Amino acid sequence: MNVNEQITTFLKSNLLDKYLIGQTTASETEEVEHYVNTYPEVKKVYEKLQDKLELSAQINAVKAPKNALDNILNALEEETPVVQIQPNKPKRKWFSLAIAASVVALIFAGSSAYLFVQNSNLSNENQVIVDEIFDLRSDIAKNNSRLTDILEQFKQLNNPETEKYVLKGNRSAKDLKTVAYINPKEKKSMIDVVSLPQLPDDQVYQIWADIQGKMVSLGILTEADRKLQEIPYTEDALGLSISVEPKGGSLERSSDTPVAEISLKLND
């Protein structure tokens, strides 16, 4: 189990909650203090839970009614003389004790319910914090991956071996413009879709490589692809062309007159 998995398992164990309310054993206390002092993520969760617990205790502190204790004592004082004067009526004594016991039971039940709710809330908040931490880590990993891809693309663009080819549309697609970047030494090809005229829903733009008169598909172009992206590199390609094909693309170029084409000079 790696460190991240260990931290996740620990945070989900609710040991932090038990530690904050003093319910951990000696070994559990040692484990909690080890994680808090060793891992900044755990310490951050611990401090946040501690702050929330203190704030919650201050906000939800409930004082007993001002006259509750006086009322109980007065009730007991009122009943006690009766028991002493008439010892043959024990029922009233037990009735008074039952009242006092009921009040104590209600106070205890209320305190237990309050602590249970607070513990449940802390557990839920703890899980939310854990999820937020791992969502943040996931976003950082995705951003780092995208940054790596962008740096690699700029590296290819600035490579002196990379050739740039601009494909512009003819009269059938005069607003079409794409830019191809090809590096025969590293066998890399990229394309930047600058603009594509709108097509009916049952048609698509498809890019092709001319290899000794045979047209090889390099994929379908869409408005969603308006960013620099890799396309298959084709050895000894003589040219590139873009044609309009049925939705889903074609295995063979259906038109001898593409909407855009350009010759490559990689072998000069």
Q: Please check the confidence at residue 93 and state whether its pLDDT lies above 50.
A: no
- CA-derived radius of gyration, the chain: 38
Q: pLDDT tens for residues 215-264?
A: 999 999 887 766 778 888 888 889 999 999 999 888 888 877 799 989 98
As a whole number of angstroms, the distance between CA 119 and CA 16 comes to: 11
When pLDDT is averaged across residues 84-102 and rounded to a whole number, the result is: 46
pLDDT bracket for residue 25 (50, 70, 90): very high
pLDDT confidence band for 95 (50 / 70 / 90): very low
Nearest to 205 by CA among 233, 176, 179, 166: 176
Question: What pTM was estimated for this model as a whole?
Answer: 0.44
Q: Beta strand 214-221 with 188-195: parallel, antiparallel or unpaired? A: unpaired
> CB count, 10 Å around CB of 210?
20
**Given pLDDT bands bounded at 50, 70 and 90, which one contains residue 37?**
very high
Average the pLDDT over 78-90 and give the result. 46
Reference 173, options 263, 249, 261, 264; nearest CA is: 261
Question: What is the Cα–Cα distance from 223 to 171, expressed in whole angstroms?
Answer: 20
Provide CB contacts within 8 A for 163, sequence distance 6+. Answer: 181, 182, 183, 184, 264, 265, 266
Range 113-121 contact pairs with CB under 8 angstroms and sequence separation of 24 or more? 114/60, 114/62, 115/21, 118/53, 118/56, 118/60, 119/17, 119/21, 121/56
Contact between 76 and 100 (Cβ < 8 Å)? yes
- How confident is the model over 109-137, as a mean pLDDT? 73
Query: Mean pLDDT over residues 88-96, rounded?
Result: 43
The pLDDT of residue 160 is 78
Mean residue pLDDT across the chain = 77
For the chain, which residues make up each domain, given as ranges? 3-154, 163-263
* Paired sense of beta strands 239-246 and 203-211, if any: antiparallel
Residue 139 has pLDDT above 90, yes or no: no
Which tens digit of pLDDT belongs to each residue from 58-83? 665 555 555 555 665 565 555 554 44
Considering only 41-45, 86-90, 240-244, which range has the smallest mean pLDDT?
86-90
Closest listed residue to residue 56, CA positions, set 106, 119, 109, 112: 119
Summarize pLDDT for 169-228 with one digit per residue, the tens. Answer: 998 888 899 999 988 888 888 888 888 898 999 999 999 999 988 999 999 988 776 677
Angstrom distance (rounded) from CA 240 to CA 245: 16
Do 112 and 43 form a contact (C-beta atoms < 8 A)? no
